[in-house]
Amino acid sequence: MPEGPELHLASQFVNEACQELVFGGCVEKSPVSRNPEVPFESSAYHISALARGKELRLTLSPLPGAQPPQEPLALVFRFGMTGSFQLVPSDALPPHAHLRFYTAPPAPRLALCFVDIRRFGRWELGGEWQPDRGPCVLLEYEQFRENVLRNLADKAFDRPICEALLDQRFFNGIGNYLRAEILYRLRIPPFEKARTVLEALQQHRLSPELTLSQKIRAKLKNPDLLELCHLVPKEVVQLGGKGYGLESGEEDSVAFRAWLRCYGTPGMSSLRDRHGRTIWFQGDPGPLAPKGSYTSKQGPFKDTKGTERSS
């Protein structure tokens, strides 16, 4: 499933690919999609994107003099399991291109497509972020950290830390592979109580005698869990490409697989949390591990073509 880094990379892709393009006409929705129609038509408009956690906002901005007169329109996308954006020739649309924005004449015309094989992705008109999502772990780190530490009395932190990390009210942008990588680096058992792990961070303060550069070096050398929630997704963004992309034939998936230390890698153990999501780890699972659960030590699942699949 696309996580915060993938949404951020998608926004970078849209902004870079569409920067010099002028789009025109109506927005086209596939008949099989259950998402809303996009009532927008303009003879000339630009497209820009901004990501926040696991959401991406696409803004359609008419150019001066474009007809009919039209206010900018924003759409907020959530990618579900398989959502992504592709820019393709208009006469070679990919399968499952459920929303399409066409460039204005003259030819050759291109189409920016929201492609979603499994159709779990969603878009909403209006451009408002979901109100129950916390600050973005990538772009709003200080607000994110404050939001977590201020709300440790919430019942979400009664749960194992591996489950709390998927709660988008507090960890907006963290998903299954990121939680495994973050916990592995700190050797935190995934089924340790979340509040136990996070309360310790309230007590941790660097010496006020340190200079700013010394404090920065200390944090980079020994980051805590909340700092890794910012730094680990940032590493994925710096890989470039699409980030999490295990489909056969994607060149950037090679770099991503090489970057992984824990998630789906050989020799790691795995358990399913109470939501049925698989958490990968090494060592003791922790005191809140499901009773009678099965722990496996194996690499990622593969189909008959050898394509890796997450569990």
What is the pLDDT at residue 86?
Answer: 97
Q: Which residue has the tokens 């010496």?
A: 207
Q: How confident is the model at residue 35 (pLDDT cuts 50, 70, 90)?
A: very high
Which of the two residues, 244 and 219, has the higher pLDDT score? 244
For 39, other C-beta atoms within 10 Å of its C-beta total 10
What is the pLDDT at residue 289?
Answer: 96
Q: Which of 47-61, 161-175, 213-227 has the lowest mean pLDDT?
A: 213-227
What is the pLDDT at residue 249?
Answer: 46
What is the 8-class DSSP label of residue 252?
H
When the pLDDT of each residue in the chain is averaged and rounded to a whole number, the result is 89
What is the pLDDT at residue 258?
Answer: 93
Query: Do 5 and 12 meet the contact criterion of CB atoms below 8 Å apart?
Result: no
**pTM recorded for the entire structure:** 0.87
Instruction: Give the integer Cα–Cα distance in Å for 120 and 27.
Output: 20
**For 281, phi and psi rounded to 5 degrees?**
-160, 175
Catalytic site residue 3?
yes
Give the pLDDT mean for 101-123: 95
Give the pLDDT mean for 202-209: 59
Query: Do 137 and 167 meet the contact criterion of CB atoms below 8 Å apart?
Result: no
Q: Is the pLDDT assigned to residue 311 strictly greater than 80?
A: no
Highest mean predicted confidence (pLDDT) among 237-241, 244-248, 266-270, 301-305: 266-270
Instruction: Give the integer Cα–Cα distance in Å for 167 and 149.
Output: 14
Which of the two residues, 306 and 149, has the higher pLDDT score? 149
Q: Is the pLDDT assigned to residue 192 strictly greater than 60?
A: yes
Catalytic site residue 54?
yes
Which residues partner with 271 through β-bridges?
Answer: 279
What is the pLDDT at residue 296?
Answer: 66
Catalytic site residue 2?
yes
Q: How confident is the model at residue 259 (pLDDT cuts 50, 70, 90)?
A: very high
Which residues partner with 295 through β-bridges?
Answer: none
Catalytic site residue from 5, 6, 29, 54? 54
What is the pLDDT at residue 168?
Answer: 98
